[in-house]
A and B are shown apart, each in its own frame.
Chain A
Amino acid sequence: MKRVRRSKREALTGEHLDAEALYRAHADFVARFLLRLGAHGQDVPDLLQEVFLVAHRRGGFVRDRAKPTTWLAEISFRVFSDRRKKSRRKLEDADTETIAMAPSQASSPSERTEKREALARVQSALDTLTPEKRAVFVLYELEGESCDSIAQGLGIPVGTVYSRLHSARRDFARAHDRIVEETRSTPGTSREVVAGARA
């Protein structure tokens, strides 16, 4: 824990962050981002390694480039879309560790269930976006990055960020409405919706 905190400070002041420092400060962020892009939980540990190895091969993060987070987001996006293209998942290996998003603290089991369902609805709605829009939407709406920093990190004009965000919001809201409707008529299906969307 201590180590993590220290490297966060380094992250703020340092000029250069090598792969390990990046990992300590941002592995969480990258794993979340990969999951929200649609990576399967069992693939996340490997994808995560891949992302930081690419960061390593690029010589680490240098301060004049965007922010470490959005810089890593760009690498994550590449690694993820590449993996998705190149390979088809084999049957799941039950032994592999699985990473998932879990609700923050809940005071009761029912609240926890409700929160889980909310996460499932959000993920299902995200899954309907194109990968490009999804990346921008996640970074802006869920990670709180600014449009500028997203533009720099992803290497696209800020105008493109705005337009992707705009249409991502529209798509997301539509999908979300639909999912809410569906789960209202048949309660308990939100998880299946997610599973279906990812299959």
Chain B
Amino acid sequence: MNSDPPRLLDDPSASPSLRADLARAADARLEGLDLDAGLERLRTATRTGSSGPSGTSLATKLAVGATLAAAAAALWIGSRDPTPAPQVATAPAVSAGPSEAPSEALEPIVGEPLRSVRTSSELDPAEAIGSTPVDGGEVDPTSPASAEPEDASALEDGSEPAHAAGAANRAELADGSEPADSSGSAPDDPAPRARSHGRAPATQPAEPSVDDVLREARMVAQARASLAKDPSRALELTEQAEEEFPQGQLVEERRALAIRALAALGRHEQARRRADEFLARFGRGAHAEAVRRAVAPEAPAGEAPAP
């Protein structure tokens, strides 16, 4: 570290205009990123439990592969561990499936199949910057399986607050069995495994089909995209989603969008009424702040479209 050269920015031998430009670039800030919405999307993606039209995709093959590998591992390990192959099989399925959903959902908007990105960015080491990364737990379920049991608790602790602030669509899952999936990164995570065991049969029938999840996500994404330019379209989409997916995965987000759209359309009375309901239920969620801002008496001009 000591041998690091001085940064160009601080290097008196570099040209002054170069240094000045670099200083400005280093100082620049990010504009236009909706971190809250991104976080919510990430949460949804990491916890939706179904496996998708991707069913035939690599994700599934990985899950199957993981199952086989785990079964083999179980044979090796013998009977020491009473929570064998099925757990490992559950975990990758859980973590792989949802990630497909939002990616697919956004295709119409972005127009690019993220799915393929995902798989190869994980599986194509040739693309690495010449690295030998510690890659995908899903590909090699055996090594993590034995490695870091204490991570399980760390993982859960870390994600607990997120749940508290989480979305309504998870309310029904708040029986304590869900954190397994949601924090659920690691297939190597013993605690979630044990729990997802008991959970699967109970919740599976209630789970929406992947098509529904995708369509809902798509609708909400479109609503979000049109909020600024065409709030009435945004409102229409959220209402359509409300009708089609009363038990949807993105209730919180779409309702927040609806409120913001109403506010943007100048329908303040309605917006406020819905906001009260919304905040009572999701007052600590990722969208609460945006909703409060939208219905604040001195609503900032940015929320409403120019008349």
Asked if A and B bind, the verdict is yes
A10–B165 Cα gap in the complex (Å)? 17
A82–B33 Cα gap in the complex (Å)? 22
A96 with B109: in contact, given A50-B118, A54-B122, A58-B185 (CB under 8 Å)?
yes
What residues of chain B have their CB less than 8 Å away from a CB belonging to chain A? 1, 3-5, 7-9, 14-15, 17-18, 20-22, 24-35, 38-39, 41-43, 45-46, 95-96, 99, 102-103, 106, 109-114, 116-118, 120-122, 124, 127-138, 144, 148, 150-151, 154-155, 158-159, 161-162, 165, 183, 185-189, 224-226, 228-230
* B118 lies within 8 A of A18 (CB): no
A101 within 8 A of B: yes
A154 with B110: in contact, given A44-B33, A95-B226, A144-B26 (CB under 8 Å)?
no
**Complex interface: chain A residues within 8 A of B9 (CB):** 141
* B4 lies within 8 A of A57 (CB): no
A44–B302 Cα gap in the complex (Å)? 22
Pairs A–B under 8 Å by Cβ, sample size 8: A15-B151, A46-B114, A79-B118, A83-B112, A86-B112, A141-B7, A154-B129, A180-B17
**Complex interface: chain A residues within 8 A of B42 (CB):** 19-20, 23, 49, 52-53, 56
A95–B106 Cα gap in the complex (Å)? 13
**Complex interface: chain B residues within 8 A of A49 (CB):** 38, 41-42, 45, 102-103
* B129 lies within 8 A of A135 (CB): yes
**Complex interface: chain A residues within 8 A of B113 (CB):** 86-87
**Complex interface: chain A residues within 8 A of B159 (CB):** 18, 20-21
What residues of chain A have their CB less than 8 Å away from a CB belonging to chain B? 3, 10, 14-21, 23-24, 27-28, 31-32, 35, 41-46, 48-50, 52-54, 56-60, 62, 65, 74-75, 77-79, 81-83, 85-87, 89-90, 93-104, 115, 118-119, 121-123, 132, 135, 140-144, 146-148, 154-156, 160, 162, 165, 169, 172-173, 176-177, 180
**Complex interface: chain A residues within 8 A of B118 (CB):** 50, 53-54, 79
- Within the complex, the shortest CB–CB distance from A2 to chain B, in Å, comes to 11
* A97 lies within 8 A of B32 (CB): yes
Q: A79-B121, A173-B8 are in contact. List 11 more A-B contacts (CB 8 A).
A: A16-B154, A18-B159, A31-B30, A54-B122, A82-B127, A95-B228, A141-B8, A141-B9, A142-B22, A143-B26, A173-B15
* B30 lies within 8 A of A28 (CB): yes
Q: Which 6 A-B residue pairs are closest in the complex by CB-CB distance?
A: A155-B131, A90-B111, A59-B186, A102-B31, A16-B154, A122-B25
- Within the complex, the shortest CB–CB distance from A34 to chain B, in Å, comes to 10
* A23 lies within 8 A of B39 (CB): yes
* B46 lies within 8 A of A19 (CB): yes
A82 with B117: in contact, given A20-B42, A23-B42, A100-B32 (CB under 8 Å)?
yes
A199–B135 Cα gap in the complex (Å)? 32
A10–B106 Cα gap in the complex (Å)? 32
A165 with B5: in contact, given A50-B118, A79-B117, A176-B21 (CB under 8 Å)?
yes
* A24 lies within 8 A of B121 (CB): no
**Complex interface: chain B residues within 8 A of A123 (CB):** 25
* A104 lies within 8 A of B29 (CB): yes
Contact with B138, one of A45, A57, A162 (Cβ below 8 angstroms): A57
Closest to A75 in B: B121
A95 with B109: in contact, given A54-B121, A78-B128, A176-B18 (CB under 8 Å)?
yes
Contact with B136, one of A58, A77, A165, A177 (Cβ below 8 angstroms): A58
* B129 lies within 8 A of A155 (CB): yes
- Within the complex, the shortest CB–CB distance from B61 to chain A, in Å, comes to 15
Contact with B133, one of A14, A50, A74, A132 (Cβ below 8 angstroms): A74
A16–B21 Cα gap in the complex (Å)? 37
Contact with A97, one of B45, B186, B225, B230 (Cβ below 8 angstroms): B225
Counting chain B CB atoms within 10 Å of each CB, the highest count among A18, A154, A173 belongs to: A18
A19–B6 Cα gap in the complex (Å)? 33
* A50 lies within 8 A of B103 (CB): yes
**Complex interface: chain B residues within 8 A of A43 (CB):** 110, 112
* B137 lies within 8 A of A58 (CB): yes
A59–B148 Cα gap in the complex (Å)? 11
A118–B24 Cα gap in the complex (Å)? 7
**Complex interface: chain B residues within 8 A of A82 (CB):** 117, 120-121, 124, 127
* B31 lies within 8 A of A101 (CB): yes
**Complex interface: chain B residues within 8 A of A135 (CB):** 129
* A57 lies within 8 A of B22 (CB): no
A94–B24 Cα gap in the complex (Å)? 28
* B31 lies within 8 A of A20 (CB): no
A19–B181 Cα gap in the complex (Å)? 13
